[in-house]
Amino acid sequence: MSIRSVIDVVNQMQAAGVMESYAIGGAVGATFYLEPVATLDVDIFVSLRPAPGSLIVNPTSLFDYLKDRGGAMSGEYVMISGWPVQFLPPRTPLVEEALKQAVTRDVEGTPARVLSAEHLAAIALQTGRAKDKARLLQFLEADGFPMDRFHAIIERHGLAPAWEKFHRQFLDHTP
């Protein structure tokens, strides 16, 4: 069981042209910036190319590639090196931007594409589940990203009201 192996496989998939680009998100992505927090799966955002002569993006080639190499499908997950991995297309302009602006980090000589801290924080704000709010608080407490870039992102993607609400709930200590 190794996330390093998952990163190796995803790098190979990108090199083989199965996907245009990828970036690790979710709790594993957050671990690139924060303390590790237990998680059961790996979220990988992917940008796929349409098949030649088609305008429609089809994820079949991605899953075929993995199946041919022994990847077991389990619901919406693919088991890679003992980890359930979920490949996610960007479904909002925010995630699309986050994928385009992802950064490459070095993991003992292996390149790993990961969403930027400010985009992970903005996505947590947008998604808005309890665990996402907890993650956003972790980012804020760790002072782990440039606030000006975070604010630019939330303005650009219409998240200012959500941020104001979050601020009132968790950061505004006045009675």
Partner 1 sequence: MTFNPQKILASKRALRRGLATLPLAEKLRMLDRLRERQVAIRGPLADKPATNPRAQPQP
Smallest separation (angstroms) from partner 1 to the CB of 161: 28
Residues 128, 129, 130, 134, CA torsion sign: negative
Using the rule CB under 8 A, is 33 a contact of partner 1? yes
**Cα–Cα distance, 144 to 120 (Å, whole number):** 11
Angle between helices 93-100 and 147-156 (to 10 degrees): 140
Judged by CB, which is closer to partner 1: 137, or 162?
137
**Cα–Cα distance, 109 to 111 (Å, whole number):** 6
Using the rule CB under 8 A, is 144 a contact of partner 1? yes
Using the rule CB under 8 A, is 45 a contact of partner 1? no
Using the rule CB under 8 A, is 134 a contact of partner 1? no
Smallest separation (angstroms) from partner 1 to the CB of 6: 9
Six token digits for residue 123: 């996505």
Residues binding partner 1 (CB under 8 A): 1-4, 27-28, 31-41, 74-77, 83-84, 105-108, 112, 141-142, 144
